[in-house]
Every structure is written in structure tokens, then in C-alpha cells.
Amino acid sequence: MRVAACLMVMVVHATEPFYLGGDGSLILTQTDAFWASFFDSFVRACVPLFIIASSYLQFPLHYSSEEFFRRRAVRILVPFVLWTVVYALVWGSPVQNFKDLLLNFNYAAGHLWFVYMLVGVYLLMPLLSPWAERVGRTELLIYLGLWLFTTVIPLLRDWVFGAPPVVYGVSGLPRQALFPLWGEASWNAYGVFYYLSGFVGYLLLGLYVRKFLGTWSWRKTLAVALPCFAAGFALSFGGFLRRVWLSSGGEFPVGGLVEKAVWWETTWCNDTLGVALMAIAWVLLFRKIQAAGGFYRRITLPLSRAGYGMYLSHLLVLVPICTWVRGWLGSGDAGILGFWTTPAEITLSAVACFVVVGAGSIALQRIPKVGKFIMG
């Protein structure tokens, strides 16, 4: 599942050039809008899958908090610092990048947000572990139900209040102003569901799958997973296209500042119902795949071990590959494959990046003594 999630991340980022560009957001054709929504919606549960995998393998903790944080620091923080420096030197203004790093990640390497979130989840795990060891099935289901309800809240704001106003932080990037619900106010963002929302739900989901789900037949697995995925995909796919259509009125190209793309992506957010349903479906399916044999030992397992390093480093390879592929095949309906140009470019870019970065990450990780500090 972690290997597949790595490939999914690369598909997400290979899709971005088809709706991000110009002054921030840009979709050239209706065909690009369709394929961007299709590909990104299909794989959008990739980040939740990483959290579920961490929970499945490590939660509740198998050792002391001190040992857990020591291992995580070597595995997560050291490679993160190294690659943060690399991106700060390679993209944008190095001086400004290093100043910004005192407060946040380098926005040119936006995928590094993931590490901050992951560290936050890790900080919670020792606190929740004693409860996780004792929790019963019914109690855990109640908390999962409450969390699943919170994934409707971002959609509820949109459905009830319409497109939210946009305010800007010091970075110049937009931040959607939240309409207050259930205890939220201008002086208080911590509403009743605040502490149950977000990625902590995927932590609990991984715990539930490992502890209580048991062994399912393929028939039962598909009977639950396929409707979950179909419903989640429909919400994500349809939601993006609906917002693009409202922005464009059916006329392309359509674009604007980056806040327009932020609004288009509403149903792609990791804390929304569609993504949560697709994450549940993916986990159910991956539980049925048995890993064994030479391919697992020689390919799957090494890629899984290098997966974190692949995530950190892949944009350095993906960006030039996407640029080259698009220059070769053309753009949208005017490309050499017509309607199929965009999906071919997304697929080819993501797979090529996955192969190159996977091989490179495994090789770097195997460098004696220092490999684990480079790639995790």
C-alpha cells in the first residue's frame, strides 16, 4: 500500500500542471478539466494511506515514547532537513527561502507540508496509545463515526454558504475564511468537532482495521469497497468539475489567481468525505493482497523502505519530466493524441518519475552508514 501511495502522489503532482499555471490557476481546455479531475480524484487518498499504514504498523506504540521519538527523528526529521535545504537552494531565492524556513516549509516545494502534519500525528500517538490498547470495538466505531461526520463539514460550508471569501497571510497565499459553525467564532476557531477532525481520523481508522476488522472474503471486500470508492470518487470528481464549470461558464481557457484553484480543490481535500470513503476502499482492497515471492523481496519491499525518500525527492525529477513530456506530446486537444494527450502525459510522467526516483532512492538508501540519513 505504501508503494502504491508513492505512485499515487506522483500522479497527483503530474496532474497539477493541467489546472495550475498562469497567475496561479489555469485550465486550457474542457478536456484538461475532465482528465485533471479524473486522475486527481482517483488517487487523492494517497496521503491518508500513508497515515493509515503508519497507524496499522505502529499504533499503539510497541516501545517507549523516548525510543519511538528517537527512531522517528532519524527516520523522518534528518532526511527532511536535508531535502528542505536542497529545495531551498534549487528553487526560488535561497536567501528568502532560508528566512521563510524559520516559520514554515518552502512553498516552492509544497509537498513538504506532509512532514509537518506527520510529525503532528506522531506527537499524538504516545498520548493516545494507552487508550488504543484498551478501546473496544463499539467505542472506536463511535469515534470513527464522529470523525466521518467532520469530513462533511468542509462541504457543508460550501453548500450552505457558497464560495467563501479569501484572505491572505504573510506568504501571499490564500486562506479560506471559515464560516462559523458549532462554537466557532471570530475569536475562537476551536469548535466542538475541531479535535476530532483531520488526520487523527485516519490514525483511528488504521487502528480499527488492524484490531477489529478480521478476515474478509474477496466477495465481502468488493461489496463494501467498490460502493465506497464509487461514492467517494463521484463526490471528488463531480465537485471539482462543478466548480470549474461555475468559474468558466463553459468557456475555456479559465484561470485566475491561485485562490480559484484552491476553491476548485474543495472536494479533493484530505479531510473531506469523498477522500475518506476512497481511503477506506483502498485499505480494504490492499488488505487482500498477499506479499510474497521474489518480486516482493526484490522490488516491492525495497521500494517501500525507500518510500519516504521517494516522497521527499520526487519533485526534483517530476518537474523536468512533465515539462519534457508536454513539450513532446503537445497540449490538450491540440496534442498529437487529441483527447488522449492529457491522460497519456499524466500517466507517462508519473510512471517515468516513479521508476527513476525509485531506483535512485534505493541506491542512495543503500550507501553504508549515511544512506538512512539521506532517504530515511
DSSP string for residues in 129-189 = HHHHHH--HHHHHHHHHHHHHHTTHHHHHHHHH-SPPEEE-TTS-EEEPPPP-TT-BTTB-
What pLDDT shows up at residue 291? 77
| Residue at 17 is within a domain | no
- How many structural domains are present in the chain? 1
- Distance between CA 165 and CA 22 in Å, rounded? 22
Residues 338-347, mean pLDDT to the nearest whole number: 93
With b for 16 or more beta-carbon neighbours within 10 A and e for fewer, the 32-46 pattern comes to: bbbbbbbbbbbbbbb
Residues 260-268, mean pLDDT to the nearest whole number: 88
Cα separations (Å) of 47 from 7, 114, 268, 279? 11, 8, 11, 9
The answer to whether 38 and 190 have CB atoms below 8 angstroms apart is: no
Q: Which residue has the cell 484561470?
A: 255
| Residue at 366 is within a domain | no
**Which candidate, 12, 81, 34, 4, places its Cα nearest to that of 241?**
34
- Distance between CA 278 and CA 226 in Å, rounded? 9
The answer to whether 254 and 248 have CB atoms below 8 angstroms apart is: yes
Residue 250 Ramachandran class (φ > 0 left, ψ -120 to 50 alpha, else beta) = left
Q: Which residue has the cell 488492524?
A: 210
Q: How confident is the model at residue 112 (pLDDT cuts 50, 70, 90)?
A: very high
Greater confidence (189 vs 357) lies with 357
Quick check: 239 pLDDT over 70? yes
| Residue at 166 is within a domain | yes
pLDDT-above-90 percentage for the chain: 63
Quick check: 165 pLDDT over 60? no
Instruction: Report which residue type is found at 144.
Output: L
| Residue at 165 is within a domain | yes
Q: How confident is the model at residue 225 (pLDDT cuts 50, 70, 90)?
A: very high
- What domain range is 70 assigned to? 30-296
Q: Tell me the range of 22-26, 310-314, 324-328 where mean pLDDT is highest.
A: 310-314
Quick check: 312 pLDDT over 50? yes
Instruction: Report which residue type is found at 188.
Output: N
| Residue at 18 is within a domain | no
Q: Tell me the range of 32-46, 186-200, 238-252, 253-267 where mean pLDDT is highest.
A: 32-46
CA angle (46, 318, 28) in 5-degree steps: 85
Greater confidence (337 vs 52) lies with 52
Q: What is the mean pLDDT of the chain?
A: 89
| Residue at 3 is within a domain | no
Q: Give the 3-state secondary structure of residue 373.
A: helix
pLDDT-above-70 percentage for the chain: 95
Quick check: 176 pLDDT over 60? no
Cα maximum dimension of the chain: 60
What pLDDT shows up at residue 171? 45
CB proximity list for 358: less than 8 A, separation 6 or greater: 6, 303, 306, 310
Beta bridge pairs of residue 27? 254
Residue 21 Ramachandran class (φ > 0 left, ψ -120 to 50 alpha, else beta) = left
pTM score: 0.92
- Distance between CA 114 and CA 246 in Å, rounded? 30
What pLDDT shows up at residue 163? 56
| Residue at 16 is within a domain | no
Q: Which residue has the cell 490514525?
A: 203
Residues 153-166, mean pLDDT to the nearest whole number: 70
Residues 202-213, mean pLDDT to the nearest whole number: 94
| Residue at 147 is within a domain | yes
What pLDDT shows up at residue 12? 97
